Structure 1
Amino acid sequence: MTVDIFSDIRCPFCYVGKKKFEKALDKFAKRDDIKVVWHSYQLDPYLQTQPDRDPYDFFSESKGIHLQQAKMMHEHAKNAGIEAGIEFNFDNQKIANSYRGHLLIQLAKQKGIANEMEEELFKAQFIDARNIDDENELISIGKNAGLTEDEVKNALNSDELKNKIAEDSLLARKIGVRAVPFFVFNDKYAVSGAQSPEVFLEVLEKSYEEFSAGSTGLNLIDSL
């Protein structure tokens, strides 16, 4: 059974959602029968990389809110991270466009290591405070996930992988994705947000029961 996940590596709650979903999957008896498919989704495709910019000041300005409110919102995300087992390093995070990171994810999908790539990119953005739009950083991140330096360099200039990102963006619009993380179970049940492991496990069990009985869902993904 397939679980499709729409996610952006610049989204802290996408990282939280990944961890909570994985906790549910660890408790799911048929976890070896689950295929996870990652889809690229950029919350801010026009963001300009500014690695030296203060992250709270940037967030305050981009959202049109007071600096103190921006810091409070990050504190909320930090607490959500702790609950999921993540120690967010918001103070030092780099403001960087995620597009080139998504190119590596698309390549990693083809090589069967998308989950590893997602984890490395999330870690780079939110824990190690690395610039995920910098080629040298991406080479290092990609190698940590299992790619070679040449594979990373080729991916960053690949029209094929750029088209894959565009296809994911079109798919997201067609099925009505407005926010991430966004999970689709067995091409039928959608879960939006970083829900609790209990919610994910409940949907896993229900959708897998239907899948085992022969249901192929509503073809939300496959028909597009």
Structure 2
Amino acid sequence: MKIEIWSDVMCPFCYIGKRKFEKALDQFPQKDKIQVEWKSFQLNPQMKTEPGKSINEYLAEVKGWTPDYAQQMNDHVTGLAREVGLEYNMDKAVVANSFDAHRFVQFAKTKGLGDAVEEQLFKAYFTDGKDTSNLATLVELGGEIGLDAEELKKVLEGTRFSDEVRKDIYEAQQVGARGVPFFVLDRKYAVSGAQQPETFLGALEQSFGEWQKANPEPLVTFAEGDTCTTDGECN
């Protein structure tokens, strides 16, 4: 059964939601029958990459907050991240447009490394304070998960996988995603936000139960002997 997850690199709740979902999936007995696909979403497509600007300054500008209030919000999110074992260093976060990072994700998906690249990007942004729009940084991250550096570099120097990113963003609108993280299970059920593992587990059980009924496993034949068939043949 497929589960699609729309997220953005710069979304703090997406990383937290990833950990909570993973905890639920670890408790799910049929987890080996679950296929997870990460999908692209941009919270601010017009964002300009500004390495010299702090995340508090950025939030103050786009949300109309005071820098002090932005700091309070980031401290709160940092605490929530800590509860699931994540280290957020928001003072190091680089304000960066995420479009090329999403092209990077789309390329990694073709190599079966979608989950690995999401983990790398989240850690790079929230923990390590790396510029996730920088080509050299993305190539380095790709190499760390086993992608061919030269192939990745050629992809990022051009425009490949741009259409795939835009398609995901369009699909997000079609399935009702107005924010991220947004989890869609078997294109029938949706879970919005970084919910508790218990919520994810309940959604997994409900959707998988229905999926399993619609996709029964064939019986396995352990041995064959003399039989008669519907066309009258016996042997």
Structure 2: stretches of 5+ with no match in the other structure: 216-235
Structure 1's consecutive aligned runs of 4 or more residues displaced over 2 angstroms after TM superposition are: 157-160
1:199 is matched with: 199
1:161 is matched with: 161
- Cα distance between partner residues in 2 of 1:180 and 1:40: 10
2:45 is matched with: 45
1:211 is matched with: 211
Which amino acid in 2 is paired with 1:71? Q
- Within 5 Å, which residues of 2 pair with 1:78-117? 78-117=78-117
1:221 is matched with: none
- Cα distance between partner residues in 1 of 2:44 and 2:64: 15
- Cα distance between partner residues in 2 of 1:91 and 1:193: 24
Structure 2 counterpart SS, 1:102: helix
- What's the offset of the Cα at 1:174? 1.5
Which amino acid in 2 is paired with 1:101? A
Residues 105 and 117 of structure 2 are in contact (CA less than 8 Å); yes or no, is this contact kept in structure 1? yes
Structure 1: stretches of 5+ with no match in the other structure: 216-224
- What's the offset of the Cα at 1:155? 2.1
- Within 5 Å, which residues of 2 pair with 1:56-95? 56-95=56-95
Residues 125 and 131 of structure 2 are in contact (CA less than 8 Å); yes or no, is this contact kept in structure 1? yes
Structure 2 counterpart SS, 1:195: coil
What percentage of aligned pairs have identical amino acids? 41
Residues 103 and 160 of structure 2 are in contact (CA less than 8 Å); yes or no, is this contact kept in structure 1? no
- Cα distance between partner residues in 1 of 2:71 and 2:29: 40
Which amino acid in 2 is paired with 1:12? P
- Cα distance between partner residues in 2 of 1:107 and 1:35: 18
2:8 is matched with: 8
Worse-superposed segment, 28-37 or 150-159: 150-159
- What's the offset of the Cα at 1:144? 1.2
- Cα distance between partner residues in 2 of 1:59 and 1:151: 35
2:228 is matched with: none
Residue deviations 1:32-55, cap 9 Å, x none? Answer: 100001100000111000111122
- What's the offset of the Cα at 1:154? 2.1
Aligned residues: 216
1:119 partnered with 2:111:
no
Worse-superposed segment, 75-84 or 182-191: 75-84
Residue deviations 1:115-152, cap 9 Å, x none? Answer: 00000000000000000111111111111122111122
- Cα distance between partner residues in 2 of 1:152 and 1:19: 27
Structure 2 counterpart SS, 1:111: coil
Give TM-score, length-normalised by structure 1: 0.93
- Cα distance between partner residues in 1 of 2:134 and 2:164: 21
Give TM-score, length-normalised by structure 2: 0.89
> Alpha carbon RMSD of aligned pairs, Å?
1.3
1:26 is matched with: 26
- What's the offset of the Cα at 1:160? 4.0
- Cα distance between partner residues in 1 of 2:159 and 2:70: 37
- Cα distance between partner residues in 1 of 2:208 and 2:56: 42
Structure number with bigger Rg:
2
1:178 is matched with: 178
